[in-house]
Amino acid sequence: MRIPCPFCGARDSREFVFRGDAQPVRPGGDDAGAMFDYLYLRDNPAGAFEELWYHAQGCRNWLRVTRNTVTHAITDARLARPEPAA
Partner 1 sequence: MRYSIVQLARQALGRHRGWAPAWRDATPKDGYDVVIVGGGGHGLAAAYYLAKVHGITNVALVERGWIGGGNAGRNTTIIRSNYGLPGNEPFYEWSMKLWEGLEQDLNYNAMVSQRGVLNLYHSDPQRDAYARRGNAMRMHGVDATLLDADAVRKMAPFLDFDNARFPIDGGLLQERGGTARHDAVNWGYARAASALGVDIIQNCEVTGFLRDASGAVTGVETGRGTIRAGKVGLAVAGMTSHVAAKAGLKLPIESHVLQAFVSEGLKPLIPGVITYGAGHFYVSQSDKGGLVFGGDIDGYNSYAQRGNLPVVEDVCEGAMALMPMIGRVRMLRSWGGIMDMSMDGSPIIDHTPIPGLYLNAGWCYGGFKATPASGWCFAHLLATDTAHDTATAYRLDRFRTGHVIDEKGAGAQPNLH
| CA-based nearest residue to 26, from 14, 35, 18 | 35
Q: Find the length of the chain.
A: 86
Rule CB under 8 A: choose which of 25, 26, 30, 71 binds partner 1.
Answer: 71
Q: Is residue 72 near partner 1 by the rule CB under 8 A?
A: yes
Please, are residues 58 and 15 in contact by the beta-carbon 8 Å criterion? yes
Nearest to 16, CA basis, from 52, 67, 54, 46: 54
- Write out the binding residues for partner 1, residues 1-60 only, by CB under 8 A: 1, 12-14, 18, 20-21, 36, 39-46, 49, 51
Return residues touching partner 1 (CB under 8 A): 1, 12-14, 18, 20-21, 36, 39-46, 49, 51, 67, 69-72
